[in-house]
Every structure is written in C-alpha cells, then in structure tokens.
Amino acid sequence: MKKKLILILSIAFVIFMTALFIFYLVKDDSSRWEVSLGGIFVSALPLLLLFSKNIPFPALIIIGYYLFLFCTLFLGSIEEFYSRFKWWDATLHFYKGIFMGAIAISLYKLCIPKQTRDHVSKWILFLFVLSVSVNATALWEIYEFVGDLTFTRTMQSGGNTDTMYDMIIGIVGGLLVAIYSIVRRKTL
C-alpha cells in the first residue's frame, strides 16, 4: 500500500513539476523554472524508500510530504503566495515543525524496539522529538540563507527578523508535537 502511494505521488508530482519546468523554461521565467527543476528532484526523493524492506513512515506522513511540497513550491514560490499572503510563510514553517516532529516519532518507533519503549524516559522522547524539529528548522534557514547567497534574493526577504520569526514558529510546531509525544508515550 505505502509503496504504491509513494510511486503514484512521486510520479504524479514529477510529471507536474516537469510540465511546469518546460512551460517556464520556454517562457524564459528563470525564477519559476529553477523552482520547478528543484521540485522534480525533491518529489523523486521518496522513491528511495522503495528500496527499503519496510517503509518506516505512515501513509499520512508520505501524503504530508507532498502536501508540503505543493504548498511551498507551487503555491508559495510559483503562484507567489509568499508575497501575496504575509501569513503563508509562517504557516508553512509551523507545519514543517509539526511535520518534522511526526517524522521524529516515526524514527523513534523504528529505532527503539516496542518492548524497550516503556523504559525510555518521557523526557528523552520529548527532547528527541523537539531536537529533530529544531534541527530541521535550523537546516531549513541555512538552506534559505545559502539559496539567497547563490541563486535568489527572495527566500529571506525580511532578513534576520524573517529568519528568527521562522525559527520561532517552527520550534513552536515541534514543541507541540514533543508535548503530544510525552502525553501519548504509552501508545506510541
């Protein structure tokens, strides 16, 4: 089931991004064809999961990944939601914090055997989930900074204030999932 889902979503999104890439390349719209080209690569990344015996992520996380790509690449960058709606960037950073917290819970369940989970301190679980989310937030801001230095000048249009606001909102999202993880630790 999950393998089919990954295959269908990856192929659909690669085709969608490839069509956008060709369309904007012909129109000589460099900012949009560059985003589309990047979209082709990141939408194909989950195909690597097909080589693993057991896919560690639930179907909801796989769908959430493509939802995030659609909202950031297509709606955010290509359709310019980032500039049209001031709340769009913050909403996606909040979503990313929650999403990465959910990934951390999946990794926790993958790496810690079920019989051992009851003996893991809830605070260790809390710190692990929060740390994964915080690290993802920091790495994303580094990506934006490097992207602005090398390719664009639009990712951190608000400078340091934008970066700090993005980090705070991403950490809040991760904090909510970390709190959820200690409350629901017995059922994870």
What angle, rounded to 10 degrees, do the helices at 86-111 and 59-69 form?
150
pLDDT at 1: 79
pLDDT digits (tens, 9 = 90+) for 72-108: 989 988 898 988 998 998 999 999 999 999 999 999 9
- In which residue ranges of the chain is pLDDT below 50? none
Rounded Cα distance, 25 and 34, in Å: 9
pLDDT for the residue 33: 83
Domain ranges of the chain: 1-84, 86-187
Q: What was the pLDDT predicted at 117?
A: 82
Distance CA 170, CA 172 (A): 5
Using CA atoms, how far apart are residues 161 and 182, in angstroms rounded to an integer? 32
